[in-house]
Amino acid sequence: MNKLFLGALAVLPLAAAAQTPTSTVLTPEKLWQLGRLGEMQVSPDGKTVAYTVTKYSLAENKGNADIWTVPVAGGAARKLTDTPGSENTLNWRPDGKLTFVSGEGGTDQLYAMNADGSGKTKLSDFPDQGLSNLKYAPKANFILYTQDVKVTPTTLDLFPDLPKADAKIIDDLNYRHWNVWDDHMASHVFFQPLNADGRPEGYGKDLMPGEKFDSPLMPDGGAEQLAFSPDGYRIAYTSRKLTGKAEAVSTNSDIYLYDIHNAQTVNLSEGLPGYDTEPAFSPDGKQVAWLSMATPGFESDRNGIVVYDFASKKRVDITKGSELSANNARWSADGKTIYFMAVVAGTEQLYSLPSKGGKIKQLTTGAHNYNSFELVGKDQAVANRTTLSAFADIVRLDLKTGKETPLTAINKEKLAGIRLGKVEDRRVTTTDNKQMQVFVIYPPDFDPAKKYPTLLYCQGGPQSPITQSQSYRWNFQLMAANGYIVVAPNRRGLPGFGREWNDAISGDFGGQPIRDYLSAIDKISEEPYVDKDRRGCVGASYGGYSVYFLAGHHKGRFKTFISHDGMFDLNSFYTTTEEMFFVNHDLGGAPWNVPQHRSYTEFNPINFVGKWDAPILVIHGGKDFRVPESQGMEAFGSAQMRGIPSRFLYLPNEGHWVLKPQNAVLWQRVFFDWLGRTLKPNGAAAK
């Protein structure tokens, strides 16, 4: 049977198993036609929101971001730019002009224009690479930005007579990170005065001369990790001033304060051993707040809000004792309140508390995510909002009542007539008698009298919550549109249900979180419309690990598996991943430690390949340095040698995510093709 199955896989073209796209259901191609909301900035008078929308071309295999505005009071949205280069890094100047960075001329340069899009003027002519993460001082007398600076010699520098040699000489760890190799460059913070016309004067001054460290933190840090004081003469920035092995084993980033007057830098968070990020000055400049994790080496610890007072030089975690993990902290105009976002029970909501500490107040409720927000005057905000059935749009929020008012409808025309599936928020009792949130997403036009193939979705992270966010790869509505019921549990280890629930996964990868998955699929499978003979298990990263582990422990539950960028052999994973603090914390240390942690014995998927008995699709990116490609190759090779029907989708130029449009559509086609073949009949509901 296996040989016949494999033969069919080898000759059947992908298109033969793919669903025919229609105008009434979501398709991979339709997903990539949608505009994606990006940045969002409110004008100084509080009347206008400027934002970016990125649209992608499958034919050109790239995206382009343009600038739009919409009145805060409501009204028609207006497109301000339409250039071949993406616009980003929006800033409003005090004079009401909107500045931005654009790559339309080949390098990223600074531009300004009026609020209606007229009077566009190029302000900078930075050589070579241009600039990133630009911010204006409140009085618009300075700008800060980041640029890459060469900090270590290359092989060509060391051996100039060997210009065609292609090699890397490596003496320490952190020689590659996420999806890039060490390129002998570091991102540094610069500041530069502006003349009366708003143009940069002279050369920018490097705040980190001679340092081998990055600011902001790579790869995800951005302008939120940099801040000007209200007077414009102090700059706070985030950096982890460690290199090599010391950097690889530590999460100890800090908040540094640079004084433009005396060119001195001080560490405001010295002695705090975890991540310290996202500084924000109080309106009077007397304090600065930032996000702080207390536990060294734990990248998913609770983010508290620390407030530092310049006069007393004291630091206080004003959220101490709270179970919430804060993000996006913002000061009120009078400095008395700090607003922030936090994940709770599968949603992301807005909260506030007194800046001196006190009772935290939840300001919003409902089945949505507020993914980012900006304050607008008193008691109002604008926010980026999504749900599992709605893509990102901007809404206005009343912070007193929580009422929201839509401001944009970015994809209204593209989604017109598209039927989406019902989303159900259920609770399932776990093996240790706790209540677990499980999202169930049903196909459009769901008929409870029919039986449907059903997918257990395993979330990655391992501490990334399933909320109301929208994914353009693991899109639940797209899976449902292909005829599948999707079961998505917020299993042990996912935020939003208290610290005990969040932290329970560390050192227990194959324990309670796996039992939680089985509790979810078993309970939902009691429904008469779930076809128990057509169940699949899919996931990425830790979710991909879960797929590999469940393949050896599912006891006949699943007929097929799909693992993307999953950890397969935790022994080899330990020494080939890059952020060593993660494996030290979450796997319980090195595999050679005595006694050996059970991660490498009881919880290592490779140890249970002998029990694999169902077809498996393995997907992996060649530039994934978090979970290196060898993990996928080992899994595929194991399946092949065992005679398990299997396929390997290898994406040599993708990292831990699939970011190129055509690769993303190919991913979806292979994904649904595999499910169609292994969960026959091809994704359609069976009577």
Residues with active-site annotation: 541, 624, 656
Given a contact cutoff of 8 angstroms between Cβ atoms, the answer to whether 469 and 369 are in contact is: yes
Q: Read off the DSSP letter of residue 635.
A: H
The structure tokens listed for 13 are: 């073209």
Following DSSP, what letter does each residue of 104-142 receive, concatenated? Answer: TTSS-EEEEE-TTS-S-EE-----TT--EEEEE-TTSSE
The structure tokens listed for 499 are: 């610290």
Q: How many residues does the chain have?
A: 687
Which of 29, 77, 37 minimizes the C-alpha distance to 54? 37
The structure tokens listed for 674 are: 């595999």
Residues pairing with 404 in the sheet: 397
Given a contact cutoff of 8 angstroms between Cβ atoms, the answer to whether 237 and 258 are in contact is: yes
CA distance 161 to 496: 57
The structure tokens listed for 568 are: 């397969």
For 59-82, give one letter per residue: b (16+ CB within 10 A) or e: eeeebbbbbbbbebeeeebeebbe
**Beta strand pairing call for 452-458 and 530-540:** parallel
CA distance 234 to 207: 11
The structure tokens listed for 345 are: 């029970």
Following DSSP, what letter does each residue of 39-72 receive, concatenated? Answer: EEEE-TTSSEEEEEEEEEETTTTEEEEEEEEEET
Bond prior to 681 in cis (omega within 30° of 0): yes
Given a contact cutoff of 8 angstroms between Cβ atoms, the answer to whether 539 and 572 are in contact is: no
CA distance 111 to 125: 10
